[in-house]
Amino acid sequence: MVPDSIREAKPEDADAIARLVNEAFRPERFFIDQDRTDSAKVCALLEKGKFLLAEGGGYLRGCVYVELRGERGYFGLLAIDPALQRTGLGSRLIQSAEECCRSAGCRVMDLTIVNLRADLPGFYRRRGYSESGVEPFPAAAQANQPCHLVRMSKPLPPR
């Protein structure tokens, strides 16, 4: 079912967001054997930024976290219901995140991906992002092999 709307999350959406993110991030289980997030972490993120939710048929189908960082926007935790991956929903949520940041005056959009996910750089390059740096992988995440984060960025020209 293709989502009919995108809306901003409320705190009461935290459980559904955590479930969707954990399901969508299952491909990372080869290097980190734990859930990606939980309701408490989602609520903590809602204190700093917001989640945009794609809903359809009364269910959460996709989400993305968006945070304003001065003239830079950031998005992360892009999660799509596995049954709807490769339908364009991820691109639609990325566009919504970019527009949210552009409207707030951001001139650049950033994201981070783990270097072990070889499928992700190409996905983001096709959407205008390029590698712009590296960051350490959070020690608390307890990866079972060496890894780091790759920062990717994209200019957000004003409309």
d(CA 63, CA 46): 13
Q: Domain-by-domain residue ranges, the chain?
A: 5-155
- CA quadruple 40, 41, 42, 45: dihedral positive or negative? positive
Q: Is the pLDDT of residue 151 over 60?
A: yes
β strands within 70-144, DSSP E? 72-80, 108-114, 130-136
Nearest to 80 by CA among 109, 42, 52, 58: 52
Structural class in CATH, domain 5-155: alpha beta
DSSP-derived 3-state class of residue 136: strand
d(CA 48, CA 19): 20
Q: pLDDT confidence of 33, banded at 50, 70, 90?
A: confident
Q: Is the pLDDT of residue 102 over 60?
A: yes
Percent of the chain with pLDDT over 90: 85
The pLDDT value recorded for residue 140 is 82
Sequence-ordered list of residues with C-beta below 8 angstroms from that of 90, at least 6 positions apart, any chain: 62, 78, 80, 123
pTM: 0.94
